[in-house]
Amino acid sequence: MSALDATLARIAADHAPAVLASSLQAEDMLLTHAIASAGLPIGIFVLDTGRLHAETLDLIDAIRGRYGIDVDVYSPRESALASYVQIYGRDAFYRSVELRKRCCDIRKVEPLARALAAKRAWITGQRRAQAASRAELAEQEFDAAHALAKFNPLAAWTEEQVWQYIREHEVPYNRLYDQGYRSIGCAPCTRPTLPTEGIRAGRWWWEEPQSKECGLHVTAEGRLVRAKVTA
């Protein structure tokens, strides 16, 4: 049994019910493969923001077909989306960091809270090498915002290790990676990157690096602060 398999088995045994929050990126497809291959009782959910690439959404059916497991899909509340669009405009996130984060709150953060309700632990595909803001990422932490354990079992993995695993196990992956993408989120907020750029340079490329988080991995205090949005 590999170290990753042992970690996931321990999470399943000691923190049930546990779930994988899958962004359908390479790391989360790797974790999905490991969970499904071991038959672990760990649920998998996806946040369908309504702005994802078609190539990303195709992976939901790929998971169901390849592994025979279900994927729970959580979408933003229509009333919140309609209000945002009416007040600020559909693509207002280009105008300011505050408006972009408000969009992320509606499309990601609030659905995440619903997905994690009544769970004891959630698993992510975060890695320390993805961004400076994740350099101190722990493999296990306590998420005070949702009052449950949070695991980042790939925290110490390199990008090369992730892709080696995917190749060796023939894990389905987003074909946008073959077009120069290295980190894939919502379509209007993601672009391919140059070889000289960082992994997450294509995410919210018009913003400063320190602001490039969507809000899924911040403290409860941080969420409260940025809930105040101005046009």
E strand or H helix that includes residue 141? strand 140-143
CA distance 165 to 224: 38
Cross-strand bridge partners of residue 74: 47
Which pair of structure tokens corresponds to residue 37?
Answer: 């291959």
User: 103, 104, 186, 214: which is the annotated catalytic residue?
Assistant: 214
Active-site residue flag, 214: yes
Are the beta carbons of 169 and 33 closer than 8 angstroms? yes
Pairing between β-strand 140-143 and β-strand 148-151 as defined by DSSP bridges: antiparallel
CA distance 23 to 182: 13
* Catalytic residue IDs: 214
